[in-house]
Amino acid sequence: MFKGSIVALVTPMTENGDVDYPSLQKLVEFHIQSGTDGLVAVGTTGESATLPMQEHIEVVRKIVEYAGKRIRVISGSGANSTSEAIELSQASAEVGADGLLSVVPYYNKPQQRGMVAHFEKVADACELPLLLYNVPGRTVADMLPQTTAELAAHPRIVGLKDATGDLNRLQELKRILPEDFILLSGDDPTGCEFMLQGGHGVISVTANVVPALMAKLCKAATSGARSEAEQTDKSLQALHQALFIEPNPVMPKWALYRMGMIPTPVLRLPMVEPELASQKTIEAVLHDIGVIS
């Protein structure tokens, strides 16, 4: 269902901060032609935190339109208010998304029981398959493996994006979760080993920049071709690291701008363009891997 190389897609902006829909269409086509397996629309990398709900859903609708059923579209529909997450999820279904990615509620710091109640309410309210998203580095609250296992009993909760970067946790999840429960890495630097140890794919920031290479990596890793996967991943480690020297999505936007894929690197406040030193770092990496001249 949701496996392989899934890109956490950026949302390009014009100079005045509006969504740049022609560039968004160009990016969707770039991924389809490069072999990407799925698109996450308006997740963290798509600046979900600063898109009002109506605009958020319009971006999802446009991505669905541009994709034209050629690639699966997963809508970032999480919120720290359960009612808002339900509204986003239902609206995402109405505009044609194939699935939902719902983050652990942030800032509130809910208890594990609160997480169960939250996600069950969201899954009950919408017929789309739901991927849970655990990223304690952003949300503070950490959804524990036993909580994930409890939620996996819900027929619409089909998988987890785990962005802890903890490969020991992967083994614990595999031990207690149903065999068909989808496990996706949300941490590019450890994503290769995550897949080699039984994960089903990645939701990747790096795939914004090198989608064909990420697709190649995922195919090798999920088929158990360790040598090929590790070789490809080794060539991408510097990029994995450089894309996170400033808070995401600052660096992927700058990279796409320097590649000529988007006309501006504009972000919504309070995010701003990277520092000059960061620009030079990412540009050196892009040059080394042959993405820019």
Peptide bond into 136 cis (omega under 30): no
Q: Is 45 annotated as a binding residue?
A: yes
Phi-psi region of 66 (alpha: psi -120 to 50; beta: other; left: phi over 0): alpha
Among this protein's residues, is 133 annotated catalytic?
yes
Catalytic residue among 3, 66, 161, 219: 161
CB count within 10 Å of CB 59 equals 23
Q: Is 71 annotated as a binding residue?
A: no
Helical residues (DSSP H) of the chain, grouped into ranges: 21-34, 53-67, 82-94, 112-125, 136-139, 145-151, 167-176, 188-196, 211-222, 226-242, 250-259, 276-288
Catalytic residue among 133, 174, 216, 219: 133
* Residues of the binding site for pyruvate: 45, 203
* Residues of the binding site: 45, 203
Active site residues: 133, 161
